[in-house]
Amino acid sequence: MNAEPGKPTPVVDIEEIAERAERGEDISAHFPKTFVAKQRVNIDFPLALLREIDAECARIGITRQAWIKMACAEYLRSTGVGTGVDHVGGKGAP
């Protein structure tokens, strides 16, 4: 989807993009490079653990969600399971 300078970028119908995705085609060119796929999950934590997490979050000044993502990413890196993706900010994030 790299248009030449001075030429307008062709508009592609969203339905066409969806059909391409359904066929398994690469549609990443239609999304900004900052796009990071996400999936919402629900996790039940013991209250005592949440209190400890919240205390640590307050100490270092980040949200609970950010701390949980950071802790998971750190664990994966420390065990060698990590894939090279920055799990907190997305691939290639500083």
The pTM for the full model equals 0.53
Q: How confident is the model at residue 3 (pLDDT cuts 50, 70, 90)?
A: low
Q: Is the pLDDT of residue 63 over 60?
A: yes
Output the pLDDT for position 35.
66
What is the average pLDDT across 38-55?
94
DSSP annotation of 29: G
Q: Confirm if 30 and 45 have CB atoms less than 8 A apart.
A: no
Output the pLDDT for position 30.
79
Q: Which of 32, 29, 36, 28 is nearest to 89 (CA)?
A: 36
Q: What is the dihedral of CA 63, 90, 37, 33, to 10 degrees?
A: 130
